Structure 1
Amino acid sequence: MTQGSGGTILQKADQLASFSAMENGLTRAYLTPEHKQAHQQLADWMTEAGLEVWQDSVGNQWGRKLASNPTQPTLVIGSHSDTVVNAGKYDGNLGILLGLEALRQLQDIELPYHVDLVAFADEEGVRFNTTLIGSSSVAGCFQPAWLDIKDDNNVAMGEAMLDFGLSPELAGQDARSPEEVKAYLEVHIEQGPVLEDANQAVGVVTGIAGAKRFQIAVKGMAGHAGTVPHELRLDALCGVAEMISAIEAYGLKYNVVATVGKCEVKPSAVNVIPGEVNFSLDIRSAVQQDLEQACTELFSQLEAIAHRRELQLSHELTYQAQAVPCDSKLQQQWAEVVEIQTGTPASFLASGAGHDAMVMANITDIGILFVRCEKGISHNPREQVNEHDVGVALECLVEMIKRVSSQDTVSST
């Protein structure tokens, strides 16, 4: 690693954070002036690093390290440049900047393939509430119906593309085919505390968790808080409290995480027994079979609680995403470079959060490296990484780009 490379990357992260819709914070949404400004800065840095640059049909920013005689499909590396509201500086953006510095260091190294660096324009879905727009376009998954989705200001995505200088009728038309792409590599902050707990700078990701989200309604009978004895009550909230305890116990025992994040009580009065409760349930697992089994078993438990308490229970599936495993060969190669750079065996961990890689898996093999973040805090201005860990991640990425030249890592998708 060139002396100070980690510090240089962190300085550039500070610069990117200045392109924000917030005066004293970071918010950068899709097809906004801040998006345009950040991608122009990235394009300038890509040019300085010797890359060929272009913007694609949905506003992703690309830079290519050209091979003089490419004999293998293109290797793609990248992450996302958009942010949540009042975000940290490193979610997504760190992966782009690590890729940029890696290709700058490899500028004079001849490889048997082009290496494309991509800054995906929308992973978070903040503006149009449709996530992974940038990577979906590249992977051939862009839905034309998305063009009609409107933001909070009643501006449709297609209209926003026109204002941005794009042609909405071309959105997704420049998708990559599986034959064109060798593999996709992404470096990302962990967004969790596992690596910090293990005292590891980086870790190899085994897969991205699948997820299912439900909206659940439990109905009992509202009544006077002072006149209805406990043994005669149909208290919806007490039933839900027991259900939430069962959900937590299941998550602790099995290979899933299960979370109740929202709970609405009706009629929500201090002197009225709750007659109805609506709550959310988010279930995730890196193993799809475990996710499916958890949903079946948990709802069996919830229905049993409702039946015993004489409550009515109904549920609606509101979101689902399949679990996506990382390629085993790429995992092994990441582990080898991590051990060489750190002198210790690599840690392996699953990602509980979604990433652009999960969409890129539709066209190629994926490999992800996580970087330790302080206290596991993310999607928060307190999101933090340290220069040493960034330097380690950079060394690993540089070596990984060189290592995937063996033919047996070409996508089998």
Structure 2
Amino acid sequence: MNDSKHPLSLGQQLMTRLDEAARCSLPGGGVTRLFCSEEHRRVLTLIGDWMRQAGLTPELDASGNLVGRNDRALAGERTLILGSHQDTVVEGGKYDGMLGVALPLQALQALKDEGIELPYGIEVVAFGDEEGTRFQSTLIGSRALAGTFDPASLEARDADGVSLGEALRDFGGDPGAISSLARAPEQVLGFCEVHIEQGPVLEHRDHAVGVVTALTGIERHRITLTGKAGHAGTTPMPGRHDALVGAAEMVMEADRVLNATQELVGVIGKLDVRPNAVNVIPAEATFTLELRSPDPRGRRVGREQLLSAFANIAEARGLVLDMQQTYSAEAVDCADWMIEALEAASEECGQPAERLFSGAGHDGLAMHDVTDIGMLFVRCRGGLSHHPDEAITAEDAEAATRVMMAFLRGFDERS
């Protein structure tokens, strides 16, 4: 048991906090915490306490972000923004997103305990929604800060028919005031996020941390195939217009193209069938297609190849095809000076930190529109993420916290 003679290390303290946050979840495996949910409300109570312990003043903003500011930020001085998202996928892990909220607060509290006052403004943001699990409208909070929030997304509805705008008002936000959250670029020093890698590179290199060079581009499409329902026992096989069979052929074509194309990955992650009955030929199948690549040209070529193949499959099977793009975010580069600052901080802490690319999207995709961005990756076991078995070690948590402390101490010399 811990006592005053054997205080917990920074890494152990951080792991304890992350365990506490993980209990703010719907029942079931892993962590499920959706935007503007009761679990969201509960975790913000925890995060608000962490912010106050770090010397920050917490405030829920109009878009559902919890923002903690130090005195200099409250006084209007130029500000460095840190943070990540609190929301999760369904039955996700306890570190994706939340690590980037808890770790900078742990680092700031440690600096405060050492009597170090940073000579610039600090904001730590627990972004409300990055995963898009509840409303399929991602980066809500970070787009609000960047000034690129689309008010039309307030009409998006969850599975129960509740609109994003309604949920936000019930949560204590103010949809009508979101536009006022946009940060003035001249007032922002930069945005830096800590995140688990969600890949195996750091584990293969046996490094605790890595410095990110760029964030991937992402696009999503909704594909709907309409055929003709019929009795499964009396309708002859030849001439059927089975929407699910057409969708299955498209899934296999997507897998073939994605495996054959360099620097392009993707997934068909959701499939809905109507009428979804055991003895009825499917009349309609709707599925999602997500494509990711750092190369916009490669993503465009892959998209065109797939959508052309889908059109040919639909025609051959007598199906009506409807294809709609639902989301798009171009790849963005991390700022050279931010990369170098994180490398210098890692070197100061004795941590090798090679550069690597992020294959996932993050709040930095939005924040890039208002300021320079940087990102520090932390090793995760097996590269596993969006899964209940997502894991990091206390030793790596300690190393990353120390790197963030060094980054913050030296930041004024580089900004």
Structure 1 residue 393 corresponds to structure 2 residue 400: yes
Match of 1:28 among 26, 29, 33: 33
TM-score (normalizing by structure 1)? 0.81
Offset of residue 356 of structure 1? 1.2
Match of 2:90 in 1: 85
Match of 2:209 in 1: 202
- Take 2:279 and 2:180, find their aligned partners in 1: how far apart are those partners? 59
Match of 1:336 in 2: 344
Offset of residue 39 of structure 1? 1.2
Q: In the superposition, relative to structure 1, how do residues 315 and 214 fare at CA in structure 2: closer, same or farther (>3 Å)?
A: farther
Match of 1:114 among 107, 121, 126: 121
Match of 1:323 in 2: 331
Match of 1:144 in 2: 151
Match of 1:55 among 25, 41, 60: 60
CA RMSD of the aligned region, Å?
3.8
My pick for the range that moved more, 277-286 or 368-377, is 277-286
Offset of residue 90 of structure 1? 0.9
Helix, strand or coil at the partner of 1:100? helix
Code of the aligned partner of 1:404: F
Structure 1 residue 296 corresponds to structure 2 residue 301: no
Match of 2:3 in 1: none
Q: In the superposition, relative to structure 1, how do residues 12 and 332 fare at CA in structure 2: closer, same or farther (>3 Å)?
A: same
Q: Contact 1:251–1:258 (CA<8 Å) still a contact in 2?
A: no
Q: What residue ranges of structure 2 are gaps of 5+ in the alignment?
A: 1-6
- Take 2:276 and 2:372, find their aligned partners in 1: how far apart are those partners? 50
Helix, strand or coil at the partner of 2:27? coil
What's the CA shift string for 1:180-233, capped at 9, x where partnerless? 111000001122223223322222222221122334567999999xx989xx99
**Number of residue pairs matched?**
403
- Take 1:171 and 1:58, find their aligned partners in 2: how far apart are those partners? 6
Helix, strand or coil at the partner of 2:291? strand
Code of the aligned partner of 2:70: K
Code of the aligned partner of 1:349: F
Match of 1:402 among 406, 409, 413: 409
Structure 1 residue 382 corresponds to structure 2 residue 389: yes
What's the CA shift string for 1:1-24, capped at 9, x where partnerless? x96100100001111122223277
Code of the aligned partner of 1:282: E
Code of the aligned partner of 1:83: T
- Take 2:343 and 2:56, find their aligned partners in 1: how far apart are those partners? 28
Match of 1:46 in 2: 51
Q: In the superposition, relative to structure 1, how do residues 39 and 317 fare at CA in structure 2: closer, same or farther (>3 Å)?
A: same
Structure 1 residue 166 corresponds to structure 2 residue 173: yes
Match of 2:17 in 1: 12
Q: Contact 2:257–2:302 (CA<8 Å) still a contact in 1?
A: no
Q: In the superposition, relative to structure 1, how do residues 138 and 310 fare at CA in structure 2: closer, same or farther (>3 Å)?
A: closer
My pick for the range that moved more, 178-187 or 215-224, is 215-224
Q: In the superposition, relative to structure 1, how do residues 22 and 172 fare at CA in structure 2: closer, same or farther (>3 Å)?
A: farther
What's the CA shift string for 1:146-197, capped at 9, x where partnerless? 4444433443333333333334332342221111111000001122223223
Structure 1 residue 133 corresponds to structure 2 residue 140: yes
My pick for the range that moved more, 383-392 or 241-250, is 241-250
Q: Contact 2:351–2:399 (CA<8 Å) still a contact in 1?
A: no
Q: In the superposition, relative to structure 1, how do residues 345 and 173 fare at CA in structure 2: closer, same or farther (>3 Å)?
A: closer
Offset of residue 113 of structure 1? 1.4
Code of the aligned partner of 1:181: V
Helix, strand or coil at the partner of 1:402? helix
Offset of residue 405 of structure 1? 2.3
Q: Contact 1:71–1:113 (CA<8 Å) still a contact in 2?
A: no
Q: Contact 1:210–1:288 (CA<8 Å) still a contact in 2?
A: yes
Q: Contact 1:111–1:402 (CA<8 Å) still a contact in 2?
A: yes
Structure 1 residue 281 corresponds to structure 2 residue 289: yes
Match of 1:184 in 2: 191
Q: Contact 1:46–1:63 (CA<8 Å) still a contact in 2?
A: yes
- Take 2:275 and 2:60, find their aligned partners in 1: how far apart are those partners? 52
Helix, strand or coil at the partner of 2:99? helix
Identity of aligned residues (%): 38
Code of the aligned partner of 1:54: E
My pick for the range that moved more, 135-144 or 385-394, is 135-144
Code of the aligned partner of 1:398: M
Give 1:241-252 correspondences, 5 Å limit: 241=249, 244=252, 247-252=255-260
Offset of residue 386 of structure 1? 0.7
What's the CA shift string for 1:365-406, capped at 9, x where partnerless? 111111111122222221111111111111221122233324
Q: What residue ranges of structure 1 are gaps of 5+ in the alignment?
A: none
